[in-house]
Amino acid sequence: MQVAVHITFGLAGGNWPWLLSQPVLAAAVWAELRHQVEARLATGAAPDHDAAALYKALPRAKADSVLLCHRLHFDVEAAAELMGVEPPAVEAILRAAKRTPSPLAERKDS
């Protein structure tokens, strides 16, 4: 996943004027990172098997919320800001994710 992060930061740096014109800069960068990660998952180049299984098992918004809050330990407000949504939306997604079996939905210790 480190490769995806490096590519995303490179693209962000090269498109800074466009990013600044976006309503939520962090959400635009997050969307690009998600795209880069999904591209690696599609080619089997992702060494993080839990994350790969998570994105295969859940819709994007659920997978993003679970990854940010449970795996990366973001609080709901920070995850919502990064995703470009309101905190109650992330809370609702996390509640729904708990009802969906997935590798990380219930794990908080990874």
pLDDT at 102 over 70: no
pLDDT at 88 over 90: yes
Structural tokens at position 75: 């609080």
pLDDT digit string, tens, across residues 42-78: 787 766 777 778 888 888 888 889 988 988 899 999 9
CA 24, 73, 41, 91 torsion-angle sign: negative
Helix ranges, 44-107 (H): 49-57, 60-66, 76-83, 87-98
Q: So where are the chain's domains?
A: 2-98
Q: What is the mean pLDDT of the chain?
A: 83
